[in-house]
Structure 1
């Protein structure tokens, strides 16, 4: 599951939302780390709909514009839960290895040269 899909599903976990509401919620739940563009969002929504993970909940006209609200399906909630569990297990394994590495004889902590791979610098 992509990061964008994970956060869109997370944004929809508690209630249906329209596109702009999803964008704001993704930014909030990711503490600003993920800021989706509109084109990216609608591509993700199309994929998640095709995969049966979300459905169109309703459409409303607001100030002359159509708002489409999306909600998770039961399958979407299961997929989100499974991905969250997978990520938590991976984080736990990494923390365990880090702790073991710090205890290893002769282990020397190297100063960080920057954000590393997670930050996009190689």
Structure 2
């Protein structure tokens, strides 16, 4: 999973529209990751095709994105993978100083 996809899914702990996702990702990364509209909407389209998110319109006809059960399972697996990476960083970082 790309970092962009990870943070988009992480931002969907509640349903959000595209701009809300962009702002939440900036917030989560302390401004390090600034997603452009092409990047976010391309990733969201792929996630929708992969059934990781669903899309609906709110009362103002804004497009809202929400994580699905499949998306949650993918995110859980990715978190396990990242925890393993983190454990290895902590274990071996001294060998690269």
Does TM, scored on the shorter chain, surpass 0.5? yes
Q: Which has the larger radius of gyration?
A: 1
Q: CA deviation at 1:58?
A: 2.9
Cα distance in 1 for residues equivalent to 2:4 and 2:54: 17
TM-score (norm: length of structure 2): 0.91
What's the secondary structure of 1:22's corresponding residue? Answer: helix
Q: RMSD value over aligned CA atoms? A: 1.5
* Aligned residue pairs, count: 97
- Structure 1 runs, 4 residues or longer, greater than 4 Å off: none
Q: CA deviation at 1:37?
A: 0.2
TM-score (norm: length of structure 1): 0.73
Residue 3 (structure 1) aligns with: 3
Gaps of 5+ in 1: 103-108, 110-122
Q: CA deviation at 1:11?
A: 0.3
Q: Larger % of helix: which?
A: 2
